[in-house]
Structure 1
Amino acid sequence: MNRQISWTPLLVLGYLFYLLLGAMMFQLLEKQAETHFRDQFQLEKLKFLQNYTCLDRQALEQFVQVLMEAREKGVNPEGNSTNPSNWDFSNSFFFAGTVITTIGYGNLSPSTVAGQIFCVFYALFGVPLNLAFLNQLGKGLNAHLITLERWVQKPGRAQVVQTLAVAIFLTTGTLLFLIFPPLVFSYVEGWSYGEGFYFTFITLSTIGFGDYVVGTNLNKHYIPVYRSLTAIWIVFGLAWLAQVFNVAADLMEKFLQLKWYKPDLSLTEGATTKLEDEPEQPRIHIPS
């Protein structure tokens, strides 16, 4: 028998501490830059009013509000009527993928009531469908790992092959979904590699801030299937990263159980003594 020491309160405290740590770090890293950009923006507005005296401050604020609303609707204020539509098939396909994968960048959203209602029901059935699809992909990946383990028949090598299979799985997935894609995005979008890597992880983890989105620069010419191919890459990347997260979560749970489950030494010693005195007595397992 084991004496169970509950680690749930400690896990809750650790979770809250992690959130507080993140809040403090983001505030420390980002607040000063935000203040600088805000002051710079106000200075630019003052300079604009000084150069164009025909406008008053209220008119300028209204114009800025119009620009912000245009950005929220996915319309580039610098564009014109000849710019490509945000709702052509390729962009719509990409948007549908961000809906059912729950990425939700936020740079584009339905503006009509019909589109919003359809989006609700589309997500209602699409999100479970996506989860089932990713689950099947995950089972396929696990099946390949099991097949690789069965190749070895000699005793003592199964653990080595299992470790090797996991290493190959992690290495190949990291290259295909985290290392190489930022190179492509850097070349096509004009981002730095760091920005491309940031976009890649934020997308595949379904965080989806929307500060970086592929295929949205109106000054660049994209091939028609660029965003569709990106959507397909996202789906397989989601399946891989979900497996990685699941493994990490399992390891964390096992670590906590090993750390916070301690044997009752008195009961163990008593059971050992009894077994030594009565070697013929069969062992009885008492379920916890």
Structure 2
Amino acid sequence: FGMTTPQTIGGKILVVFYGFLGCSGAFLFFNLFLERIITFLAYVLRYFHEMDLRRKGVIGGDRRDSQASYDDTLDQWKPSVYWVMLYLFLACVVLAICASALYSPVEKWTYFESLYFCFVAFATIGFGDYVSSQQPYYDNVEWYRLGNFIVIVCGSCFMYSLFNVTTIVIKQFLNWLIQKLDCRCTYLKKTKIQIRPPIPRGRRNAITPEHLKHANRTAPPKTVADISEPDSTYDSEGERRNSNEMISMQDFLKSNKVSLAVMQKELHESALRGRAIILPSRPPVEEFKPGSVGPLAIACKKLGEDIA
């Protein structure tokens, strides 16, 4: 709480090394307590879950094969994180109420001040505005300090476990919020896409001009003399062309130096006219996930949460 501090250089150096090892050991102790308390609550919740299944008649029949299958299902069953958080919260509240009943008459605090001290002490905040066991005289001071030590240690363990389980609930809320926001943004983007109506266009011929097509339609039929003339449907290289084409495609490309890539692009754009533009598929939304080590990973593993 800051009421006792080192004053000499040697004491400050000792605090650095002692604090490093002490905090590491305290974190290990808190993590072990977190694992044990969640395991205990999981067994308790599993027991009530099994009793509920027996009451409904789901298990407990005469068939051994069905009983074995239900036992395997119970082995894979994980408790709900919300129930675990509720029980840890109730444990912290009950411990704080009992400790406040101890602090209020002994330290001459009000009951609200005692509750406030319990939260600050259990959460390891330690402002130092309220500190227990600092008066010069107490009745049965040894028993009071022992009880004060046990209450603060147990309260810190329960509060540490509650904080880590609450982080899982916050993670689930953030994932739900991210998915909702992403769905809303996707809907807004889809509503902004306007489908262009098809534009009526006449049939185009890039080779034969329009006035020559009309001339061919109104031209008189060929006579015998025309047929006897050399065939003009073949170009100079012997390749056949359409009847209405003035020159072959190969001669046209050579003479005008048109790039095939440009023509393909224009044909693709003309084919897309009058159709809805299909956007590329979006990557999946990344979820907020905890790490694979630490107290959060311990809680996620015990409660069946996926971690990556």
Query: Normalized against structure 1, the TM-score is what?
Result: 0.50
Higher helix share: 1
Higher relative contact order (CA 8 A, sep 6+): 1
